[in-house]
Homo-oligomer: A and B are copies of this chain.
Amino acid sequence: RLKPPRRAGAFCRPAMTVTYSSKVANATFFSFHRLLLRWRGSIYKLLYREFVVFLALYTGLSVVYRLVLADHQKRLFEKLSMYCDKYAEQIPVTFVLGFYVTLVVNRWWHQFVNLPWPDRLMVLISSCVRGKDEYGRLLRRTLVRYVNLTSLLIFRSVSTAVCKRFPTMDHVVEAGFMTAEERKVFENIRSPHLKYWIPVVWFSNLASKARQEGRIQDSIDLQNLLNEMNHFRTWCSTLFGYDWVGVPLVYTQVVTLAVYTFFFACLIGRQFLDPAQGYHGHDLDLYVPVFTLLQFFFYSGWLKVAEQLINPFGEDDDDFEANWIIDRNLQVSLLAVDEMHMNLPPMTKDMYWN
Residue in A99, A157, A195, A303 whose Cβ sees the most chain B Cβ within 10 Å: A99
Contact residues in B for A89 (Cβ distance below 8 Å): 90
In the complex, the chain B residue whose C-beta lies closest to that of A84 is B291
Q: Tell me if A301 is interfacial: C-beta within 8 Å of chain B.
A: yes
Interface flags for A59-98 (1: CB within 8 Å of B; 0: not) read 0000000000000000010011011101101111011101
Q: Tell me if A226 is interfacial: C-beta within 8 Å of chain B.
A: yes
Task: Name 8 A/B residue pairs within 8 A (Cβ), A-sorted.
Answer: A4-B244, A19-B246, A20-B246, A30-B49, A33-B260, A36-B257, A123-B233, A142-B347
Evaluate whether A347 and B139 lie within 8 angstroms (CB atoms) in the complex, with A35-B256, A244-B19 already known.
yes
Interface residues of A in 90-132 (CB under 8 A from B): 90-92, 94-96, 98-99, 101-103, 105, 112-113, 117, 119-120, 122-124, 126-128
Say how many copies of this protein the assembly contains.
5
In the complex, the chain B residue whose C-beta lies closest to that of A253 is B43
Asked if residues A103 and B105 are in contact (CB atoms below 8 Å), the reply is yes
Q: Tell me if A176 is interfacial: C-beta within 8 Å of chain B.
A: yes
Size band of the interface chain A makes with B: 35 or more
Bound Cα distance from A198 to B163, whole angstroms: 31
In the complex, the chain B residue whose C-beta lies closest to that of A53 is B30
Asked if residues B43 and A348 are in contact (CB atoms below 8 Å), the reply is no
Q: Tell me if A151 is interfacial: C-beta within 8 Å of chain B.
A: no
CB within 8 A of A344: which of B18, B53, B202, B251? B202
In the complex, the chain B residue whose C-beta lies closest to that of A272 is B83
